Amino acid sequence: MKLAAVLLVLAVLPLLGPPAYYLYLFSTAYLFATLATAWNLLAYGGQVSFGQAAFFGLGAYGAALASLHGASPWLTITLGAALAGAGGAAVGLAAGRLNGAALALATLATAELLRGVALNWTALTGGGSGLVGIPSVPSLPAIPLELGGGRVGAYHLSLATLAAALTLSAAVLRSRAGLALAALREGETRGTLLGLRPLPWKVLAFALSGGATGLAGAVYAHTLGAVEPDVVFGRFFSIAPLVMATLGGRSLLGPAAAAVVLYLVSELVFHPLAPALHQLPYAFALIAVTLVLPAWRRTP
């Protein structure tokens, strides 16, 4: 109920008539909150990923390519999320025996590999120039909110994406899957003694996290109308969710709230005062994450 109330309040904010720039900032902040929520879902099982950009880029390119070939934007967003979810499952399966630093480096390598593929497969991805002309999402007449083009439509679409990620995360954490992931986080050996098979749960965690991340990537592609390999597969989309989610803690709303605050502070406070240093909050946050991550991983 609290989550629904918060989302409802955020949904009516555009009715107050804020400037389009602020709607853009909040739309982007909600997408980062989605990424942080997706990273937290994976980390709940003790898996630390440094390569979430792999799933973000898969979702963005999957949606962009399908849309440019004539598919409905609503369908392409679904396809982008599904492609990223499949990619997540493949990574989870391939890295099933890895943990800790080895797993983190494997996910980072996956994102870099996909970036290289996108840069060099010019016939499909447009190479370094990327893809342009991606149509915006049309509104749905049956829904009272504007979910299509324009700043208000992009705002509501990003908020709906965050709501979907939070709903998925809440459903998983309160289910048998959440109990299994928590058991594996405390120790795979202990979980095995309880009768759990680690690999299927790891694959599930990667698939769900990848799908939610890819959903944000697909919405990003339709919102901006263009995708580039160095952006959507860039390291910023891998490191930022890690920092934001860790700062927010292992609660349901914590990562999303931390993502929104950190992004808005960077853009509204640091960017006007010192444009060259507007990403300084991420540096401070990364230092804080380095100091608190061991304790964060031990918390129940």
Would you say residue 11 lies in a domain? Answer: no
- pLDDT digits (tens), the chain, 300 positions: 677 888 888 888 887 888 888 999 999 999 999 999 999 999 888 888 999 999 999 999 999 999 999 899 889 999 999 999 999 999 999 887 788 788 889 999 999 999 999 999 999 999 999 999 999 887 665 565 565 557 888 898 999 999 999 999 999 988 988 888 888 887 766 667 666 788 888 999 999 999 999 999 999 999 999 999 999 999 899 989 998 998 888 788 899 999 999 999 888 887 676 666 666 777 777 777 677 655 544 444
pLDDT number for residue 278: 62
**Is 12 part of any domain?**
no
Number of domains the chain is built from: 1
Identify the CATH number of the domain in which residue 108 sits. Answer: 1.10.3470
The answer to whether residue 4 is domain-embedded is no
Interatomic CA distance for residues 156 and 212, integer angstroms: 17
Burial of 120 by CB count in 10 Å (0-12 exposed, 13-18 middle, 19+ buried)?
A: exposed
For 226, phi then psi, to 5°, come to: -160, 150
Residue listed under structure tokens 């749960």: 201
* Residue 137 maps to a domain: yes
Q: By the 8 A CB rule, do 209 and 39 touch?
A: yes
Is residue 9 a part of any domain in this protein?
no
Residue 14 domain-assigned (yes or no): no
Helix axes 198-224 and 53-68, enclosed angle (nearest 10): 50
pTM: 0.90
In a domain, 6, yes or no: no
The pLDDT value given to residue 300: 45
Q: What pLDDT was estimated at residue 79?
A: 96
Quick check: 210 and 57 in contact, CB under 8 A? no
Q: Domain range spanning residue 198?
A: 19-298
Q: Give domain status of residue 27, yes or no.
A: yes
